[in-house]
Amino acid sequence: QSVLTQPPSASGTPGQRVTISCSGSSSNIGSSTVNWYQQLPGTAPKLLIYSNNQWPSGVPDRFSGSKSGTSASLAISGLQSEDEANYYCAAWDGSLNGYVFGTGTEVTVL
């Protein structure tokens, strides 16, 4: 079951900026770093942002992350057609002793 809450969908036209929110609690986002994953249809999740706002090698800086208190957000600037995917936030939950994932947000490029 998902413990982190995300909007089910987001959309924008090419070149626009899209923001996805992720809401948690003190036992997860409030006390751990937040990570974001991109999942293209039929493929495994790919790490997009780690430790709130860090990019793994090869991820364009059009993607950016931030965290404040028990919430976090992912921003996609200069939206491109290849950004159409599902996006998940995740964090370690110290009460559950495991990772919790967001409900997922499907991004559509209009």
Partner 1 sequence: EVQLVESGGGLVQPGGSLRLSCVASGFTFSAYSMNWVRQAPGKGLEWVSYISSSSSTIYYADSVKGRFTISRDYAQNSLYLQMNSLRAEDTAVYYCARDRSRSYPDYWGQGTLVTVSS
Position among 10, 18, 24, 35 found at the interface with partner 1 (CB under 8 A)? 35
For partner 1, give the closer residue by CB, 25 or 33.
33
For partner 1, give the closer residue by CB, 13 or 44.
44
Contacting range for partner 1; rule: CB under 8 A; set: 13-21, 39-47, 65-73, 75-83: 39-47
Question: Distances from the Cα of 64 to the Cαs of 1, 23, 78, 96, in angstroms?
Answer: 26, 17, 12, 28
> Does residue 48 contact residue 39 with C-beta atoms inside 8 Å?
no
Q: Is 33 in the site for partner 1 (CB under 8 A)?
A: yes
Classify burial at 90, counting beta carbons within 10 Å of its beta carbon; exposed 0-12, middle 13-18, buried 19 or more.
Answer: buried
Position among 11, 51, 95, 108 found at the interface with partner 1 (CB under 8 A)? 51
